[in-house]
Amino acid sequence: INADKLWKRGVTGKGRLVMGLDTGVDGNHPALSARWRGNDPGVPPNAAWFDPDGSTFPFDNNSHGTHTMGTMAGLDTLTHDTIGVAFEAKWIAARTIGAGGDYTSNNIAAYQWAMNPDGDPNTIEDMPDAIGCSWRDPYVEDCNPVYAMTLSAVEAAGIAVVFSAGNQGGAPNSSTITKPKNLNMTLVNTFATGGINANVPDLPAYVNTSKGPSRCGGVGSQLIKPEASAPAVGVRSAVPGGGYGNKTGTSMACPHVVGAIALLKQVAPHLTGSEIKLALYQTARETPADIYPGEDNTYGMGLIDVWAAFLSLGAPEAPTNFAAYSDYQTPNSMFLQWNDPDRLATGDTLLPNEFLIMIKRDGQLVDSISGGIEHYMDSGLTDGQLYHYEIFAKVDSSGIEGPVVEASWIAGGAPIPSPPNLFVVTGNEQQVKLFWENPSTNIDGTPLDDLAGVKLYQNGEFVTTFQRSPSDTGLADSAIFAPDIPGYYEWAISVVDNEIPPNESEVSPTVGTPLNLPISDPFIENGEPNPGIWVNTTTEVNDRANNPPSPPYALNLNGQPNGEDIVELKPLDLSGFQSGILFSYWYQPQGDGNAPEENDSLRVYFKNDLDEWILVKAYPGRTLQPFQQETILIDTLNSGNGTFYHASFQVRFRSTGGSGNFPNDDWFIDDVFLGIPVSVDQHTEVPSQVLLRHNYPNPFNPSTSIPFTIHTISEVSLKIYDLTGREIKTLLHRKLTPGNYVVKWGGIDETGRAVSSGVYFYRLKVNDKVLTRKMVLVK
């Protein structure tokens, strides 16, 4: 890899720090022990050695980690054998392979440790320049976001992470780069290193080197894997016990790159790990055995050449703050702006008269301008078309080009409006009031000059458009909407412009109708349980129950597909109550499906204010029985160490059973009710008409009882209003059988707040008949 050319210039990695994340390292090996950072005065062992099992001195539970570290930084001080690329660099290590605990978690923890090994955020000398990762993680899915976020954070800290490509690439296998190095957030973030057989003159690929492309998508070079290659066959390095040995695999290729990075950091300490990886990537050379010109999915860019990368560091730095801009006022031109570089990659000063800024549009060079100008207007463009720009500095004297920076923009600005902001929903089942802030820009930040309307979605379905005009742009806004069928729904809005056809913004986050007591759900629609009321995992509403109370449907928990079904009532504010809330439901095992076995139970939980789910009911599996009603007065339950009367009360139904691709272990739930209990006078004869009687006491403080009578099965609502006609509280809204009833009101509104003294009206609606009476609250 031409490291010896740098050695001859005195570049040996001195003053730099490398890290191995592997099986550990033999800390007593003569090729390594003198340069373990933990031996430095004042450096505690835990700032130089990470072991999830708690050891305080480096050891190797295999031999892999010692071998890879030897290739990074090994030097036999007795024989002066330079087995390492950066043989005067110091090292730290993490032992995650073979350690106890979760493998993936250990790796993530090691990366986090690497960003601050000594625990002092004000120091940087403890941070490695590069981390060698010659391993794979078979326990995660492709393109794992946890690794992606972690590796991006490590790179943002300036540390270079280098991986082996893997050894699953026997011809003609493609897309065999192992996890997580098949990630490709940038060209070099997860720098996967392929293997070269450096013992053969034409330097062919190692026969088992894993091959691209990445399974994580992308285009062009970002899709190609590996990034580059290094020696991988018969590599001689350290092994535990003080000896040396040859090993083969891309695990041996990776540490060559880590050592190369340490050499380059010695001459360019101001460059980040990512920038140095990019230099190695861009200067890798084709080998004679690589018969396909250019970057490919076997060799990547080719064999790394640390000498060529070193020479490339005489290039200018990249322009910064590059941006392209166009809006509706300049639909046929693009304004480019940037800050010129003021130094070479080596740190030497670069003057404005020493370079040009080269400008490419969609891959074609369109112009070059002298340093010091820092802006450019590109004309003759097509309105609405996306253009991609690249600029880079080119040194006049040498012709060396610096890194490319890119920006894309649509001529005339993006046509898609930004979504509305600050979406809030108030109201109840009958009517909601929506509040939001109209956007002032399109998605790219250009001014929105053609606002035409706001679309409303109910449970994901479009229901109406509120007409607006450009004068409403950027303003706080609101609207009132009454659903055709009263109920709890999920609401969302979007913005549209006046183009033909109109452009629509992304839909806002969904917001549910605020849950208010009482809650009643007879599960009248097939499919998903109402998303306005329930947070559903795998339950469904269907017709497989046997004679449900509200036919033909009931909620079905059946263990499909994972053996457990959970559905939870959305959070509901009970903080305004201290007692008197009832929860009821009907339940049935088997229905017309499969009978749950005894251990395939149905369980009911309530959540207290400590976020604890408290088991309140459990039913062992059994064969078919008629629906049974369960009535639970919350006051009578053990709420653990907390209370159920809090701002985020929830109910959970949960079934357990065998997993499978077909419904099994069936439980059914119907007619769920949560609210203030309605007392029924069973001893009074029921008249043949609807009656609303005087409340008692009246005047009252703090609560009063409201008696009424119905003579047929009816849909009944009982609501409280103030003197202005404003609805204060819904006390009851459900189907009742004939009888005499009493409902209590404790002077609490829908938000759970106590109302003030004054005159109030209570209105009873039974089917189409409405009765109203007056009462007085005195405090």
Give tens-digit pLDDT for 420-459: 999 988 877 788 889 999 999 999 889 998 999 999 999 9
Whether 557 and 539 have beta carbons less than 8 Å apart is answered as: yes
Q: Where in the chain is the domain with CATH 2.60.120.200?
A: 519-675
Q: Which of 114-123, 373-382, 516-525 has the lowest mean pLDDT?
A: 516-525
Is the pLDDT confidence value at 662 over 60?
no
Is the pLDDT confidence value at 116 over 80?
yes
At 309, is the secondary structure helix, strand, or coil? helix
Is the pLDDT confidence value at 518 over 60?
yes
In 51-97, beta strands by DSSP E? 90-95
497-512 burial, b for 16+ CB within 10 Å, e for fewer?
beeeebbebebbebbb
Please tell me the class of the 679-777 domain. Answer: mainly beta
Is the pLDDT confidence value at 734 over 90?
no
Q: Where in the chain is the domain with CATH 2.60.40.1930?
A: 679-777
pLDDT digits (tens, 9 = 90+) for 546-602: 999 999 999 999 876 666 899 999 988 887 777 778 899 999 998 988 888 887 889
pLDDT range class, residue 285, cuts 50, 70, 90? very high
Is the pLDDT confidence value at 746 over 80?
yes
pLDDT range class, residue 371, cuts 50, 70, 90? very high
**What is the bridge-based pairing of β-strands 17-22 and 90-95?**
parallel
Is the pLDDT confidence value at 110 over 70?
yes
Most distant CA atoms of the chain, gap in Å: 110
pLDDT range class, residue 79, cuts 50, 70, 90? confident
Is the pLDDT confidence value at 66 over 60?
yes
Residue 751: closest CA among 726, 733, 776: 726
Q: What average pLDDT does this structure show over 659-687?
A: 70
Residue length of the chain: 779
Whether 110 and 95 have beta carbons less than 8 Å apart is answered as: no
How many CA within 13 A on the CB side of residue 712?
7
Instruction: Report the percentage of the chain scoring pLDDT > 70.
Output: 95
Q: What is the structure's pLDDT at 177?
A: 94
Q: What is the structure's pLDDT at 135?
A: 96
pLDDT range class, residue 353, cuts 50, 70, 90? very high
Q: What is the structure's pLDDT at 268?
A: 79
pLDDT range class, residue 400, cuts 50, 70, 90? low
Q: What is the structure's pLDDT at 487?
A: 82
Mean pLDDT of the residues in the chain = 91
Q: What is the structure's pLDDT at 687?
A: 58
Calpha distance 495→454 (Å, rounded): 5
pLDDT digits (tens, 9 = 90+) for 479-510: 999 998 888 899 999 999 998 899 999 999 99
Written as one letter, the residue type at 702 is P
pLDDT digits (tens, 9 = 90+) for 177-195: 999 999 999 999 999 999 9
Q: What average pLDDT does this structure show over 265-280?
A: 89
The strand pairing partners of 743, in sequence order, are 706
Q: What is the structure's pLDDT at 681?
A: 53
Topology of the domain comprising 3-312: Rossmann fold (3.40.50)
pLDDT range class, residue 347, cuts 50, 70, 90? confident
Calpha distance 419→371 (Å, rounded): 40
Whether 559 and 659 have beta carbons less than 8 Å apart is answered as: yes
Give the end-to-end CA distance of the chain in Å, rounded to a whole number. 88
Calpha distance 35→25 (Å, rounded): 12
The strand pairing partners of 569, in sequence order, are 534
**What is the bridge-based pairing of β-strands 490-497 and 534-536?**
unpaired
Topology of the domain comprising 320-410: Immunoglobulin-like (2.60.40)
Whether 583 and 607 have beta carbons less than 8 Å apart is answered as: no
Global pTM?
0.46
In 144-209, beta strands by DSSP E? 160-164, 191-196
577-602 burial, b for 16+ CB within 10 Å, e for fewer?
beeebbbbbbbbbbbebbbbeeebbb
Q: What average pLDDT does this structure show over 138-147?
A: 91
Is the pLDDT confidence value at 661 over 60?
no
Selected from 3.30.360.10, 3.40.1590.10, 3.20.20.100, 2.60.120.200, the CATH number assigned to the domain covering 519-675 reads 2.60.120.200
Selected from 3.80.10, 2.60.40, 3.40.190, 2.60.60, the CATH number assigned to the domain covering 430-440+450-512 reads 2.60.40
Q: What is the structure's pLDDT at 346?
A: 67
pLDDT range class, residue 610, cuts 50, 70, 90? very high
Element (H, E) at 251: helix 250-267
Element (H, E) at 436: strand 432-437
